[in-house]
Amino acid sequence: MHGLMQNWPLTVDKILDHAKRWHGATEVVTRTVEGPVVRSTYGELHARARRLSNVLLGFGIKRGDRVATLAWNTARHMEVWYGAMGIGAVCHTLNPRLFAEQLVYIINHADDRVIFTDLSFVPLLRDLRPRIPSVERIVILTDEHSAQACRKDELIFETLLNEASPNAVWGGFDENTAAGLCYTSGTTGDPKGVLYSHRSNFLHTLSITNADVFSLSARDVVLSVVPMFHANGWGLAFVCPGLGCKLVLPGPKLDGPSIHELLESEKVTFTAGVPTVWQMLLAHLRETRGKLTTLKCIGVGGAAVPDATVRAFRDEFGVQILHAWGMTEISPIGTVSSPTNATASLSAAEQFQVSLSQGRTTMLMDAKLVDDAGERLPHDGKTFGRLMVKGPFVVERYFRDEPTQKRLDGEGFFDTGDVATIDPHGFVKITDRAKDIIKSGGEWISSIDIENLVMAHPKVALAAVIACAHEKWSERPLLIIKLRPGESAAKNDFLAFLEGKIVTWWMPDDVVFVDDLPLGATGKIDKKLIRKQFADYRLPMR
């Protein structure tokens, strides 16, 4: 027997329809690529997205065709998202921080037909143009007054919208229709495409709108620092219009002073992004003795936040750092470190340690730990294992995988590639990426834990720990440090700093100082490049 309820397909166009109907006057504020801060509303964004749908239909874009974006967080970028998805096309977000060869591979692999780009990336796309034959048109997200001299295959966004009708029909297709395409950063092998459906995006949005995730409501003002091209923008481009939050989009300026200006001028209550952004903001606030008068919470993911950064925002500015964990393959939010009644009864020190974890699973997400043989491991907070997840917004297989290619285990769980513990309260702590963890004498050493401790040292700007070959122990940790400008230090300063904070056999065998540490496409330290750089390094004999 079936239930007798309406069949209402979960397609993301309904999110912006809802925002227009019930939060139409709520502001969407953008710092534009051209410079000025401009203001629109969800009602205006909705109308312009529908015009964009008609532009795409005029280009001959059909359901399932890939429409790419190479753009910062702006209202125009959101208009492309909804304009493409609303007619059943696939919005493919390109990450401009990838190498040119990776971008060429991704564009060709996706068979993108149109690319919408900000002025910032026009020179890059012109260089790539001869190598991306599927791309028929490039549309520059600006007006005719700001556009550079266009080539024959380049069009101006505002001119196209002005000539288009606002009457477009959205939806009317199955909720399992593809909606978005986002490629992994290619840390191992070629980037892989994650093809989201309308249903998966909608369910992910519902999952992260509950109070135990970001605790957002229509009363909040959200500054979306996490790029819309990074892991589905953490879903904020769906959550904010769905809830009616005022949305602030920072464009290309993500430096400390620019972020601080928007936080204060727009009275932001919540923001989210990777740790490097908040470390820049913290440095700016300390240097200028700045204040955070309305901000309540910063959602952080992509990498673990050093303890010292969490304490600084809490103690100096009264702002909560809320750890989250996820990945492109899970849409991306999987866990958030919000407390439970059980953890709220712990001591203040214990609660702080819980807050440093990556948190517990969101609604509709399941997780387990397994050993190398695939056997389940206990959730005792001590046992390390491979973190496996499943749910309605977790990838089943990658774009263009063969239908027979298996990416899930026998229970339907996806291997995240992370090594973690899960405690009895259900809180996940990511210990390392499986490829980064150090296996010394049959025991595991967490590079992340050592890095976080070292980052608390006042002379350190960045730190990385990698495994180096060792004749006796197989692998031992090497600590690599970038000092703050003007600072000097010796190896023993940091070994002494770590004494008593880690077990003796975790102590790095050597410390190396470098001028810089490479960052990857998502703002995290790129250990793949570091391992290549130190491939021939020999640890000192003990």
Residues that are catalytic: 184, 329, 439, 444
CB 260 within 8 A of CB 285: yes
298 burial type by CB count under 10 A (0-12 exposed, 13-18 middle, 19+ buried) = buried
Helical H runs in 345-473? 348-355, 447-454
- Asked whether 362 and 335 are in contact (CB, 8 A), the reply is yes
Q: Name the residue type at position 309.
A: T
DSSP strand E in 348-449: where? 360-361, 366-370, 385-390, 414-422, 428-433, 438-440, 443-445
Q: CB under 8 Å to 338, separation ≥6 — which residues?
A: 212, 213, 215, 322, 359, 360
Tell me which amino acid residue 39 is: R
Quick check: 115 and 68 in contact, CB under 8 A? yes
Stated as kind and residue range, the H or E segment containing 160 is helix 157-162
**Residues 50, 124: Cα–Cα separation, whole Å:** 29
Residue with tokens 């025991």: 443
Euclidean distance between CA atoms 94 and 385, whole angstroms: 32
The pairing of strands 90-93 and 366-370 is: unpaired
